[in-house]
Amino acid sequence: MQAELDDAISQLDPHRPIQTFAAGRTDAGVHAAGQVVHFDCSARIPPGKWAPALNGRLPKSVRVRESVLRPATWHACYSASYRRYRYTIHNGRRPNLFLSPWSWHRYQIRLDDSRMRAALNGMVGLHDFTAFMRAGSRRAHARTTVQEVLVNRSGDLIEVEIQASGFLYGMVRLLMAQLVAVGEHRLSVAGFEQRWRERRRHEVREAAPAHGLCLLRAGYPETIFTRAGWYDCQPRFFLAESDPPPDPQPLLEPNGFDL
């Protein structure tokens, strides 16, 4: 995404080198519904006109929802007070082609979302999450503050949301694989907590697929964007737990013949 965005900005402001800074770093394949990016420019384009101007030059997979002017001291990453991620799990037995690009299909066992919720609740607060940091991270330490956790089930869909002051490299995908093990009763709640509290990185051997994860938004101390442009940009899917409705009656032509 960054290369396409840099190129589009350069087309509108060709007289200076462009460097963009994002609120959060995402792995390849991870979605971003509310990524925030800032850049310096010299082009005489009104702040609110940058979004439509860029969208006319970006591929269809990338869209700018809103553009605003910020002070020179403001930074998309360092000025943020939190980032929020959502991970979507499709826990139904049958595959769903409309959900597969945006969710992890775990169909073998019905996940115990109450156990998953109990496991996550203990993570709220400032902790060292070395167990959930991939190799190659450039951070000097693995401490971060988890501000809120949610586990919601709607039919066969489970949404896990985690909000923190910052995230470690690969943190959410490593954490989600462990959380699914808890939901499938392959790992106890106590065992999950023991792994991250005792920094047992060697026991965290798998990561959840990237395509189930979405950077939902980055938050700032002050109001910057409209709610429609910033707050909850990833659509939600809802599946009913009840049996499907009966087949509809066949339609009839005005003359009474079946279609």
Give the SS3 label for residue 52.
Answer: helix
Segment 6-43, tens digit of pLDDT: 999 999 998 778 899 999 888 889 999 999 999 998 87
259 band by pLDDT with thresholds 50, 70 and 90 = very low
239 band by pLDDT with thresholds 50, 70 and 90 = low
CA atoms of 242 and 68, how far apart (whole Å): 45
- Structure confidence at residue 243 (pLDDT): 43
Percent of the chain with pLDDT over 70: 92
Neighbours of 42 (CB within 10 A): 9
- Among 6, 7, 13, 27, the one annotated catalytic: 27
* Dihedral angle, C-alpha 248, 102, 157, 184, nearest 10 °: 130
- Structure confidence at residue 245 (pLDDT): 47
257 band by pLDDT with thresholds 50, 70 and 90 = very low
Respond yes or no: is residue 27 known to be catalytic. yes
Segment 56-85, tens digit of pLDDT: 999 999 999 999 999 999 999 999 999 999
State both tokens at 46.
């009104």
Q: Which residue has the tokens 């065992």?
A: 191
State both tokens at 119.
């496991």
Q: Please give the average per-residue pLDDT across 170-182, as a whole number.
A: 97
Count each helix (H run) and each strand (E run) in the chain, helices first. 6, 9
Question: What domains are defined for the chain?
Answer: 82-230 (3.30.70.660)
140 band by pLDDT with thresholds 50, 70 and 90 = confident
CA atoms of 50 and 79, how far apart (whole Å): 21
Q: Output the DSSP codes for 173-229.
A: HHHHHHHHHHHTTSS-HHHHHHHHHTT-GGG------GGGEEEEEEE-SS--S-HHH
From the list 152, 154, 48, the residue with the least C-alpha distance to 162 is 152
Q: What pTM was estimated for this model as a whole?
A: 0.88
